[in-house]
Amino acid sequence: MKLFSATSRKLKKTALFRSARKNQDLLLFFLLLLVGLVSTLYVEYKFQYAQFKWLGWRVFVIAAAIVQYGALPKKIHQRYQRPLLFILAAIVVFYLINLLANLINVYHLERFPSLMGYCEQNEQLCDTIVRTFFQFKVYRFVSLTSYFFMYVIFLIVGLLFSQQVYKRTLKVWRKLPKIRLRRVKLKYVLLFYFLLVYILIQQLISAFSTISKKMVKMYYTSALPYEQRWEQVMGGRFSFGWMKTYSEFVNAHTPENSTLLIPDMEAPWEMEGNPDYLRWFIYPRKMVQMKGSSEVPKEADYALLTYGVFGYYKRTFPTFFIGQDQINEIIFVNQNTLEVTRQQNIDYHPEEYKNVWGLIELKK
């Protein structure tokens, strides 16, 4: 115990301790900043797909750093103003490079004939660039999420305006009429200010990350004719986007006054089995469902042959056998190439039609 108190006394005499005590506010700020930055790098490195889950906690730390920075003396702000601006500019540039790399999709540069032509003539240079890309793991930079950049950008923006807002908040607080808070006045204002910074930064990061992600998608879709964008916006041909392309196939091969047999609204046909939803795609065609019946309804002119647009669990519709005496022809569409083929005089067995899309024209 004596040894401990002696060591403690000695420590208190050191210049480092005196300086640390004098600058404890600054140290606290740096600690918060360090925890905030290290945690965001760690999350980025380890939990690529759980960004949002961790967002609240990380923003909590950086909001505390911003508030703490606002409370520091003016001379510190003056000293760090320029470096902060420089870092902000650098991060924005890095972010723009990252965005550009994602926009042009650096993994598929074969889409640019002029670049391929250039590389054929300067094979060595292109080889070196590709090797450097993989050797120095530049792909790690390309795959950085927009959350990472927004987190750092809004941290610095927050720091830049921290003192200004802090002072104003404090000034406002001091002038509150007829409310006495005794000794805890400063703590309350800090808490209120902290809460607002926390909420605002969190929402800003969330909104701007969304914008950033959508911008990349928008860049790709904007190159397509407006009518074809639906498929891309909804995740492409092998996702929900198939709904529109498949419906266009149905519309092209059925008259407007026809009635279509569609699946009941259950997995995996939540989209094409929902008459209120499907009608947007195939109007003015009419729809009819089995609704538990085992017989094909008489009014049906066609039956959708679908494998389920929605969900992972897939199943073929119609789920039952249809003899060739009831079928005029089956029209297939290839989901990949959109090539259309037809077959006549065949029975329909659902188990033979896995991952197949098309239409069954029924005899009347």
Applying CB under 8 A, the residues found at the interface with other proteins are 157, 161, 164-165, 168, 171-173, 175-179, 188, 191-192, 195-196, 199-200, 202-204, 206-207, 210-211, 214, 218, 221-222, 226, 229-230, 233-234, 274, 276-277, 279-281, 283-284
Nearest of 150, 135, 166 to residue 65 by alpha carbon? 166
* Least gap, CB of 88 to other proteins (angstroms): 12
Burial class (CB in 10 A: 0-12, 13-18, 19+), 45: exposed
Residue in this structure with the two tokens 């889409």, named with its chain if needed = 111
| Contact by Cβ (8 Å): 243, 306 | no
Nearest of 312, 313, 322, 314 to residue 359 by alpha carbon? 322
Residue closer to other proteins (CB basis): 81 or 143: 81
Residue closer to other proteins (CB basis): 157 or 356: 157
* Least gap, CB of 60 to other proteins (angstroms): 12
DSSP of 267-336:
TT-TTTT-HHHHHHHHTTSEEEE-TT-SS--TT-SEEEEB--SSSS----BS-S-B-GGGEEEEEEE-TT
Q: In what order do the strands lie in the sheet with 302-305?
A: 286-289, 259-262, 302-305, 357-362, 327-333, 340-344
| Contact by Cβ (8 Å): 147, 58 | no
Residue closer to other proteins (CB basis): 198 or 353: 198
Residue closer to other proteins (CB basis): 168 or 354: 168
Task: Copy the structure tokens of residue 321.
Answer: 């056998």
Residue closer to other proteins (CB basis): 139 or 188: 188
* Least gap, CB of 110 to other proteins (angstroms): 26
Please state, in angstroms and rounded to a whole number, the distance separating the CA atoms of residues 40 and 160: 20
* Least gap, CB of 66 to other proteins (angstroms): 14
Residue closer to other proteins (CB basis): 56 or 117: 56
Please state, in angstroms and rounded to a whole number, the distance separating the CA atoms of residues 364 and 351: 25
Residue closer to other proteins (CB basis): 109 or 207: 207
Task: Copy the structure tokens of residue 40.
Answer: 């965001």
* Least gap, CB of 196 to other proteins (angstroms): 6
* Least gap, CB of 222 to other proteins (angstroms): 5
* Least gap, CB of 232 to other proteins (angstroms): 9
